[in-house]
Copies of this chain bind each other. A is one copy, B any other.
Amino acid sequence: MSGSERSRSRTIFVGGEDPNAYALRAIVMLREAGEDEVVIIKGRGENISKAIDIYNEIKERLGDGLKLVGVSIGSEKSGKRKVSYIEISLKLA
């Protein structure tokens, strides 16, 4: 569900900031992005639920103007341990 099927992407990594701040940044990126380009909201570990909060915030602002291209989940290495992640791929509809 991720990777190979997208040609270009811009990624927002979710960290300690307010969900609203990320949502606004994502909307700016979505407007800058080309037709074949997706914006990815990526959250790891404890930030996974915030990534979905951000998606919901964007969805509330853009409504049908937002297309959820796909959701990818899995685990990846972070130093010695493995952490779960989510990648939410978005486009303007």
Contact = CB atoms under 8 A, between A and B. Distances in A.
A27 interface: no
B56 A49 contact: no
Contact of A52 (B1, B48, B55): B48
Interface residue tally on A, bucketed by range: 20 to 34
A26 interface: no
Interface in A1-56: 1, 45-49, 52-53, 55-56
Interface string A53-93: 10110010000000010011111000000101110100000
A72 B71 CA distance: 8
A73 B71 contact: yes
Nearest to A47: B49
